[in-house]
Amino acid sequence: MKNLKTILTLLIGAVIGFSFCQFFHRNCPDVYPPVKIADSKASELEKKAQDTEAKYLQKIDSVQQRTQALNESLKKTKNALDKTKRKNIELQTQVYDLIDRQRVYKEVLDTASFITGCDSLQNRVEELITETNLQDSIQTAITDNLHEQLLQKDSVILLKDSLYQQLNKSFEQSIEQQKLLEQQAKFYKKKYKRQRLGSKLKNLGLLIISGFAASQLIH
């Protein structure tokens, strides 16, 4: 009879303890699974880095295309300058020859040849002046072309430097984000372990108290 009473006491205590545990577990949950941290920020950083790189590469490509066009234009301008220089040398030679002839015509008093020579000399001088002005204009164009090429090269350097800084900044942000994620993961892991241990201890305490209460009720 005594053994039966003890068995009934244990059964009733277990039932009451189990009921209390289920009740508190449903209404006051204190065990939280580890929080899964979304990696949306890391994805945003990656997309931002890719967009930044694409934008700067597009600008760099545009500058390089402009530089290539300037190089081609410079080659054509230099060819034109060479032709102009040869033409100027030819005209200068003709002008000097005409001047020498005019001296001869003047000394021999060849008036007709002297007058004809004056007309030819005037035409050659005017042609030489035109070619000289053209040569100066081409020289200016070459100077402007070279100056713009220097500016384009400086732009490429600045764009590449800016791209490096932007990507380096994104990389540093990604590293910081990774460190933060690791710290949060460790924090929630420790918190989860502490909560599980506390929950087990609480359930054990409730079970003991319930068993003791049931024993008292039967006695």
Q: Output 47 or 142, whichever has higher pLDDT.
A: 142
Statement: residue 162 has pLDDT above 70: yes
Locate 46 and state its tokens.
């990656």
What residues contact 87, with CB distance under 8 A and at least 6 apart?
131
Cβ distance 41 to 173 under 8 Å?
no
From CA 113, how far away is CA 106, in angstroms rounded? Answer: 9
Residue 31 confidence (pLDDT): 42
- What's the mean pLDDT in 72-79? 88
The average pLDDT across 118-145 equals: 89
Average predicted confidence (pLDDT) for the chain: 75
Distance between CA atoms of residues 118 and 103, nearest Å: 11
| Contact by Cβ (8 Å): 163, 53 | yes
Task: Report how far apart, in Å, the C-alpha atoms of 19 and of each of 23, 204, 216 are.
Answer: 6, 13, 18
pLDDT band for position 45 (50/70/90)?
low
Give burial (CB, 10 Å; 0-12/13-18/19+) of 17. Answer: buried
For the chain, give the percent of residues with pLDDT over 90. 0
pLDDT score at 29? 47
CA angle 118, 120, 122 (to 5 degrees): 65
By C-alpha distance, which of 141, 140, 137 is closest to 129? Answer: 137
Provide the angle, in degrees to the nearest 10, between the axes of the packed helices 2-27 and 111-218. 150
Between CA 110 and CA 215 the distance in angstroms is 155
What's the confidence (pLDDT) of residue 2?
47
Res. 209 pLDDT band, cuts 50 70 90: low
Architecture of domain 43-201: Orthogonal Bundle (1.10)
pLDDT surpassing 70 at residue 13: no
Q: Which of 69-73, 104-108, 109-113, 210-214 has the lowest mean pLDDT?
A: 210-214
- Whether the Cβ atoms of residue 51 and residue 166 lie closer than 8 Å to each other: no
pLDDT at residue 32, rounded to an integer: 42
pTM over 0.75: no
pLDDT value of residue 30: 43
Question: What is the mean predicted confidence (pLDDT) over 137-166?
Answer: 86
Backbone angles phi, psi at 26, to 5 degrees: -75, -40
